Homo-oligomer: A and B are copies of this chain.
């Protein structure tokens, strides 16, 4: 970044850089305006001549695999985050690359977790140049403080697929941690001591990377059935003692919230879905694994039972709450992107109606449609939401980058997008005048539900009409904001940020939606 950074103001009114990490950018043009050009990325054609006839692609260790894959300075190394905060493979692979002398690598995870904090050291010593991908916790703060070379690039799960598919990010070596694999490289996540459920986040990497290394602690004889990663895309297989800490990969059990405020929010959300007429025979919904979302599912389940209504499908992140719906006959299918607890993992590994999906089927905006827009209602969180219904999921009100986007942006295309959140947290308002960072445009956010009431986006006259006989506490968003400010004793202080960008937020179509600015130390 030696040349001076240029900026433009995009359609969301936000100032975004024209060039990011040496690559020209397209500013955000509106929710569904930008028309992509060109063709999908094609990695080099390989030949069976180069691979063992007996299909045994095992090599001694990750270093050997990286050397065999032609590790060089500046390469893009990708990993997936299905092992969440239990992952032992990403850091091991990057450290191995550093020990081999590699410099200026780009780490391209599907998400990062606190367990990946050692990558800070690799960035400080020069082995890793920067991270393209979500940065939670300590990595996010490192980036926020302006200590990372290069800009962080935050993408949704679907946006990551889009960027790989469209050739925006060319992965040189994908390192895929696999709870089960065979020597040919077929791999799956639903079985083994480090089972994590779906491996869908690694699928694009396996298809589009030049070289692919599968790392497993549960090698089975060919064929590994089922396989979600196809060995025909894999170069090397490495056997290790452990790919992760099972206690950090999936929760033993996920828990609903006990906070009375949050239980109230969950109840409002369920009543909203019923009263707005979304809960009807054959409907569909998606909810995450947060405490409010789980409590909402429990409420909705009771309402579905008493109304005799069944869903056609529900979308995970799956937990035992969704698995219960399946077992109780309240949904035909779970279409699952990731698996959050042991019940979910057990279910996806044994139940044909619990189906692993990928960001391609679910979220990729540069496909011929995707599942996200076919979901009737989605329940999401946010760190901030503002009077235009714009919402923020990546920064806190102090400007610090502390969260990834996940599938959040992609889910906004659902029939009804519901933000379920407390109106303030730790005396910091969540409902604000203008969000610090726009992660999602307000025109896609239909309802904000907090403990003080339900604010429907005025654009959704149909919802307002449907709710006219509901006894839900309907309010305007500005009315809620005013009440929050009165409680907290005035308007919140705006964060003091420098004029130096540290990361950018991509929209689902690859255009630049907003900039994250440096937070001074």
Interface residues of A (CB under 8 A from B): 32-55, 57, 165-167, 184-185, 212, 221-223, 225-226, 230-235, 282, 312-313, 333, 335, 352-353, 355, 360-361, 364-371, 373-374, 413, 509
In the complex, 25 of the A-B residue pairs with CB atoms within 8 angstroms, ordered by the A residue number, are A32-B48, A34-B47, A35-B49, A39-B43, A40-B42, A41-B42, A45-B165, A46-B366, A48-B369, A48-B373, A55-B369, A55-B373, A185-B368, A212-B368, A221-B282, A222-B312, A223-B333, A223-B335, A223-B355, A225-B352, A230-B360, A231-B361, A231-B368, A233-B367, A352-B352
- How far apart are the CA atoms of A312 and B222 in the complex, in Å? 8
**With contacts A42-B42, A225-B355, A374-B184 known, is A232 near B52, CB below 8 A?**
no
Least distance between A127 CB and chain B CB atoms (Å) = 27
Whether A312 and B221, one on each chain, are in contact in the complex, defined by CB atoms closer than 8 angstroms, is yes
List of B residues within 8 angstroms of A233 by Cβ: 367-368
Q: Nearest 5 A-B pairs (CB), nearest first?
A: A40-B42, A39-B42, A51-B369, A232-B367, A55-B374
- Pick the contact of A40 from B34, B43, B185, B225 — CB < 8 Å? B43
Which residues on B sit within 8 Å (CB–CB) of A232? 360-361, 364, 367-370
Majority-rule SS of A interface residues: loop
Please indicate the chain B residues that have their CB under 8 angstroms from the CB of A38 in the complex.
Answer: 44-45
Expressed in whole angstroms, the Cα–Cα distance for A49 and B233 within the complex equals 30
Please give, as numbers and ranges, the residues of chain B lying within 8 Å of A39 by CB-CB distance: 42-45
CB distance from A300 to the nearest CB of B (A): 20
Query: Do residues A54 and B235 form an inter-chain contact, with CB atoms below 8 A?
Result: no
Q: Name the contact of A47 in the complex, choosing from B223, B355, B509 (C-beta under 8 A).
A: B509
A243 CA / B85 CA spacing, docked (Å):
49
Number of copies of this chain that the complex holds:
2
**Within 8 Å CB of A222, what residues of B?**
312-313, 374
CB nearest neighbor in B for A212 = B368
A254 to chain B minimum Cβ distance, whole angstroms, is 24
Chain B residues contacting A47 (CB-CB under 8 Å) are 32, 34-36, 365-366, 509
Shortest Cβ gap from A129 to chain B (Å): 25
Give the docked Cα–Cα distance between A225 and B312 (Å): 12
For residue A368, which residues in chain B have a CB less than 8 angstroms away from its CB? Answer: 46, 48, 50-51, 57, 185, 212, 231-235
Name A184's contact: one of B185, B226, B230, B369 (CB within 8 Å). B369
The interface residues of chain B lying within 8 Å CB-to-CB of A361 are 230-232
Instruction: State in angstroms the CA–CA spacing of A353 and B365 once bound together.
Output: 34
Chain B's nearest CB lies how many Å from the CB of A72? 19
Residue in chain B with minimal CB distance to A48:
B365
* B32, A49: Cβ atoms closer than 8 Å: yes
A53 touching B413 in the complex, CB below 8 Å, given contacts A232-B360, A360-B232: yes
A368 to B56: give the CA distance in the assembly, Å: 11
Q: Min CB distance, A337 to chain B, in Å?
A: 14
Closest-by-CB residue of B relative to A37 is B45
- Given A57-B369, A225-B333, 5 other A-B residues pairs in contact with their CB atoms under 8 A: A39-B44, A46-B366, A51-B369, A53-B413, A232-B360
User: A37 to chain B: which residues have CB within 8 Å?
Assistant: 45
CB distance from A204 to the nearest CB of B (A): 12
Considering only CB atoms, which chain B residue lies closest to A186 in the complex?
B361
Residues of B within 8 A of A57 (CB): 368-369
Bound Cα distance from A456 to B413, whole angstroms: 63
Closest to A53 in B: B373
CB distance from A460 to the nearest CB of B (A): 15
- Given known pairs A39-B43, A333-B223, A509-B47, the reply for A54 and B373 (CB within 8 Å) is yes
Contact for A45 among B55, B226, B366, CB less than 8 A: B366
* Chain B residues near A374 (CB-CB < 8 A): 53-55, 184, 222
In angstroms, Cα B27 to Cα A101, docked, is 43
Bound Cα distance A57, B369 (Å):
9
User: Are the C-beta atoms of B40 and A45 separated by less than 8 Å?
Assistant: yes
Assuming the contacts A53-B413, A221-B312, A373-B54, asked whether A367 and B46 have C-beta atoms less than 8 A apart, the reply is yes
Residues of B close to A43: CB separation below 8 A? 39-40
Q: Which residues of B contact A185 (CB under 8 A)?
A: 368
* Shortest beta-carbon distance from A28 to chain B in Å: 14
Instruction: Please give the distance in Å from A389's CB to the nearest CB on chain B.
Output: 19
Q: Which of B52, B221, B226 contacts A352 (CB 8 A)?
A: B226
Chain B neighbourhood of A509, CB < 8 A: 47
Chain B positions within 8 Å of A223 at CB level: 312-313, 333, 335, 355, 371
- Residues of B close to A45: CB separation below 8 A: 36-40, 165-166, 366
CA A166 to CA B46, docked complex, whole Å: 10
- A10 CB to closest chain B CB (Å) equals 18
CA–CA, A233 and B374, complex, Å: 16
Residues of chain B within 8 A (CB-CB) of A367 are 46, 48, 232-233
